[in-house]
Structure 1
Amino acid sequence: MATALTLGLDAAAGGLFGIVGTALGRIAGYFEQKQQHVQERARWGHEYKLHELNMAARHQETELELALSAQQGSWAGLEASIKAEAALGKASQWVINILRLVRPAITLILWCITAAIFLITKESAITEAAVFAATAATLWWFGDRAPKSPISIS
């Protein structure tokens, strides 16, 4: 028969094992929670990198769209310029000759102004802007003005 002493020892041992089991469960829960935090941080880092890549892709797409629209606008301007020149129709030969001298004269004046700016100013930004403007104007005015070949390829 069980004595009070053995019953007390059994109760104490059961309580001790219950406390040890609870402590081990809490320790295991701590490490489990720590592992979940590591996984969450890794997931957040991945989502952050994915978000950065999406932003970079959108930025690049926007730049390409802007470049495309600028290029289309440039071609539309060239087309309008060519149509305006073609719309002159019949005129006196001396009027046509003077009209054809306007671009070379303006270009010569523009390059003389650019040379003067280059010689007078020591500010490189102003000089670079003047050279850019003169080059752009020259290529715009004479870029696609070569005589067309009378031979057509069919």
Structure 2
Amino acid sequence: MATGLATLSLDAAASGLFGLIGTGLGRIAGFFERKQTFNQEQARWSHELKLHELTMQANAQETEAELALIAQSGSWKGLEASILAEAAIGEGSRWVVNTLRLVRPVLTLLLWLITAFIFAQTGDGSVIDAAVFAATAATLWWFGDRAPKPPARPSAE
């Protein structure tokens, strides 16, 4: 009976020991599982952050493009208003019409003379650049799309 009790005690102790070892191994495995899950979540968060940054960048570029389109549209509307204002002058004295038609060329010539004077008098590159930019912009604005239009061909009917 003593050997049976000793065997029973050893079996109980061994099963308890194996139970503790199994629990310990389960805890260790659980730690590595949680670590792997955390790494996966961290990778997912990083990916979501990159997607969010790319979305923000795309939205910023879209907004910038819309603003450029609005600015360009405003520029064309200004040119159209300028052309319509000139066309609205209508009939008048020949002398007045000719004088009005000389305003742009005279102003352009004066602007380029002033630009040449600034170029000759100053050594500041930014002032020269600004004057040349203004003269070029004014010239293109005043004469850019003012060439005579070819006569319309009669349609062949």
TM-score using structure 1 length: 0.92
Paired residue for 2:151? 150
Residue 139 (str. 1) matches residue 140 (str. 2): yes
Paired residue for 2:84? 83
Partners in 2 of 1:144 and 1:54 — Cα distance?
40
Paired residue for 2:65? 64
Partners in 2 of 1:87 and 1:78 — Cα distance?
14
Paired residue for 2:14? 13
Partners in 2 of 1:117 and 1:19 — Cα distance?
94
List structure 1 runs of 4+ shifted beyond 4 angstroms.
Answer: none
Partners in 2 of 1:138 and 1:153 — Cα distance?
34
- What is the number of equivalent residue pairs in this alignment? 154
Q: Aligned runs of 1:34-113 on 2, under 5 Å?
A: 34-113=35-114
Q: Deviations over 1:19-62 (max 9, x none)?
A: 10011101111111111121112111111111111011101111
Q: Which moved more, 1:30-39 or 1:115-124?
A: 115-124
Partners in 1 of 2:59 and 2:126 — Cα distance?
32
1:116, distance to aligned residue in structure 2 (A)? 2.2
C-alpha spacing 1:153/1:77, structure 2 compared with 1 (3 Å): farther
Partners in 2 of 1:72 and 1:64 — Cα distance?
12
Q: Aligned runs of 1:17-36 on 2, under 5 Å?
A: 17-36=18-37
Query: What is the RMSD computed on CA atoms of the aligned residues?
Result: 1.5
Q: Deviations over 1:99-139 (max 9, x none)?
A: 11111111111112222222333332222222111111100
TM-score using structure 2 length: 0.90
